[in-house]
Structure 1
Amino acid sequence: MKIFKTIFTLLLVAIFTISCSSDDGEKGIDGINGIDGKNGVDGKAGVDGKAGVDGKAGDTGSANVIYSKWITAPVAVAETIDGSPGMSTSIVAPELSEDILAKGTILVYMSFGSGTFTLPYTSNAGGTTNTITAISTAKKIKLFRFTHSGVGTVNIPTSLSWRYILIPGGVAAATGKGVKLDYSKMSYPEVCAHFNIQQ
């Protein structure tokens, strides 16, 4: 009798389990996509700032200034210029134009053992007071040495070195303080520093 009760109980459990299990339901329909929102309105463009004031033009640099290397001159020869006997030689200056002769500044320097000197240069070489000066013409600079007494001559040694600096008339000669510069009264180092020229 207990066996039948047990079997009957198991059958009830099995029937109950089978009746409680069910198939999965059908898949639902996907929902409709939402409508995209409207793009926002662009903001107004800002007002352009005022243009800045142009800076003052800088001083003319050494780009317009012409200068030679240190060069030597040929052997001097006797010559009389404007009634004064002396010795002369010349150096070539291809950049020396008629315009520079008329409007610019021509600086000539002499160099020997004791330093660099601006022409005209006066000394007592040869036992008499004498001066070496530069006489400029287109493309050429003549170096002329004459005695102050007008007697005798003093040679221009080939061991001397020469250099010229040509400043066109359009190059500003102001210090920035309203003062005009006289390059002929400036020393060689001052002129080189002013125009950024290597000595």
Structure 2
Amino acid sequence: MKITKTIFAILLLTIFSTSCSSDDGKDGVDGQVGATGTANVIYSAWITAPAAAAETIDGTSGMSTTINAPELSDDILSKGTILVYVSFGIGTYTLPYTSTAGGFVNTITAISTLKKIKLFRYRHDGGGTVGLPSTLNWRYILIPGGVAAATSKEAKLDYTKMSYEEVCTHFNIQK
């Protein structure tokens, strides 16, 4: 019996030592790092919104309109990032966007809900409203919460603090 155990041990040792080689486990040739893509990022074309109407939200009077965002899911609402941009003659701006129009400081903001984005413009002084022209162009970018960061540097990016151009470059989105 002792001879059988010894032969069995030698046989196992031989099998393990010959089945592994020093070449096993070597890494293959590394490929080039690809450009950051848009695999999970959703973005709209530039769109115009329907005519705005007067509305009061949380006690604030303003003008509002709504654009459809069919890809805007509960999952993105709870875990993702929603970026909305307005574009008009002089540039493209991230919402919320504050300016002086009609002689009053006002803000255009986006209120996101399932499959919709409400665009709301209100005056800071609470008096009256400032129009929300249907000639403005809007675009949204939806970044699901499950989009993994490629590097620790990328994990620290705050897309809400990036310009429209920086976000488009980062996600390889045609401007």
Q: What is the aligned length? A: 153
Alignment of 1:84-99 (within 5 A): 84-99=60-75
Q: Please, which of 41, 53, 65 is the counterpart of residue 27 of structure 2?
A: 53
Measured in 1, the distance between the counterparts of 2:154 and 2:144 equals 20
TM-score (norm. length: structure 1): 0.71
CA distance in 1, matches of 2:174, 2:154: 27
Higher relative contact order (CA 8 A, sep 6+): 2
Counterparts of residues 105-116 of structure 1 (less than 5 Å):
105-116=81-92
Tell me the CA shift for residue 126 of structure 1.
Answer: 1.1
The answer to whether the Cα contact below 8 Å between 2:38 and 2:171 also exists between their aligned partners in 1 is: yes
Structure-2 separation of matches of 1:116 and 1:128: 21
* Higher CA-based Rg: 1
- Indicate the RMSD between aligned Cα atoms, in angstroms: 2.3
**Counterpart residue type for residue 23 of structure 2:** G
Deviations 1:89-144 (A, max 9, x none): 01000000000000000000000000100000001101100000000000000000
5+ residue gaps in structure 1?
1-46
SS at match of 1:110: strand
Identity of aligned residues (%): 71
TM-score normalized with structure 2 length: 0.80
Secondary structure, aligned partner of 1:192: helix
C-alpha separation in 2, matches of 1:171 and 1:178: 11
* 1:144 is the counterpart of 2:120: yes
Q: Distance in 2 between matches of 1:93 and 1:177?
A: 30
Secondary structure of the structure 2 residue equivalent to 1:177: helix
Q: 1:162 to 1:128 in 2, by over 3 A?
A: same
Query: Using the alignment, how far apart are the partners of 2:23 and 2:62 within structure 1?
Result: 71
Distance in 1 (CA, whole Å) between partners of 2:119 and 2:164 is 18
